[in-house]
Amino acid sequence: MMQKSIVKNTSILMGSQLTTWSLALLLTIFMPRYLGAETVGKLHFANSIWAMLGVICTFGMDTLLVKEVARFPNNALNLFTNSVFIRVVLFSVIFIAVFFVFQGLEYPDDTKVILYLVGISYIFNIIIGASAATFQGMESMGVFSVGVIVQRTIDTIIGIILLLLGYGIYGLVIVFAISSAVNLAIQLRSLNHLQRLTFRFDIQNSLRMLNSGIPYLMSNLFLVVYMQVDIVIISALVSERAVGLYGVADRLFGTLLFIPTVFITAIFPVFSRLFEETSDSLNRLMQHSFDTLMILSVPIGLGLVMIADPLVILLYGADFAQSGPILSVMGIVLILTYQNMLLGRFLISMDRQTSWTIVMVVATLATVPLDYMLVPWCERMFNNGAIGGAIAFVITESAMMFVGLLLLPKGALNRSNAWTALRVMVAGLIMMYGISWLQQQFILIPVAVGAVIYLGLIWVMGVVPKEDWNLIVDYTQRFLYRFSRKRAEAVSG
Largest CA distance in the chain: 65
| % residues pLDDT > 70 (the chain) | 86
More reliable by pLDDT, 433 or 200: 433
pLDDT tier, 483 (very low <50, low <70, confident <90, very high otherwise): very low
d(CA 114, CA 123): 15
Q: What is the pLDDT of residues 188-247, one digit of tens each?
A: 888 777 766 666 777 777 788 888 778 778 777 887 888 888 888 888 888 878 888 898
DSSP H helices, 203-257, are 203-237, 240-255
pLDDT at 22 over 90: no
Contact in structure between 152 and 20 (CB atoms under 8 Å) = yes
pTM of the predicted protein model: 0.75
Question: How does 274-293 read in b/e, with b if 16+ C-beta sit within 10 Å?
Answer: beeeeeeebbebbbbbbbbb
pLDDT at 451 over 50: yes
d(CA 113, CA 392): 31
pLDDT of residue 303: 96
pLDDT tier, 143 (very low <50, low <70, confident <90, very high otherwise): low
Q: Among the listed ranges 229-233, 414-418, 458-462, which one has the minimum average pLDDT value?
A: 229-233
pLDDT at 9 over 70: no
pLDDT of residue 405: 93
pLDDT at 254 over 90: no
- Residues sharing a CB contact under 8 Å with residue 391, sequence separation 6 or more, in sequence order: 329, 370, 374, 378
Read off φ and ψ for residue 144, nearest 5 degrees.
-85, -5
Give mean pLDDT, residues 142-147.
73
Average predicted confidence (pLDDT) for the chain: 83
Give CA torsion, residues 258, 192, 90, 59, to 10 deg. -50
pLDDT at 319 over 60: yes
Give mean pLDDT, residues 250-272.
80
pLDDT tier, 482 (very low <50, low <70, confident <90, very high otherwise): low
d(CA 24, CA 114): 19
Query: CA nearest 46: which of 238, 243, 187?
Result: 243
Residue 211, classified by CB atoms within 10 Å of its CB into exposed (0-12), middle (13-18) or buried (19+), is exposed
pLDDT at 2 over 60: no
d(CA 44, CA 39): 9
Query: CA nearest 31: which of 192, 162, 203, 225?
Result: 162
Contact in structure between 148 and 16 (CB atoms under 8 Å) = yes
Q: What is the pLDDT of residues 33-91, one digit of tens each?
A: 888 888 888 898 898 889 888 888 888 888 788 878 777 777 777 778 888 888 999 99
d(CA 269, CA 366): 31
Q: What is the pLDDT of residues 104-134, one digit of tens each?
A: 888 888 889 999 999 998 899 999 988 888 8
Q: Among the listed ranges 174-183, 220-229, 421-430, which one has the minimum average pLDDT value?
A: 220-229
Query: What single letter denotes the amino acid at residue 484?
Result: S
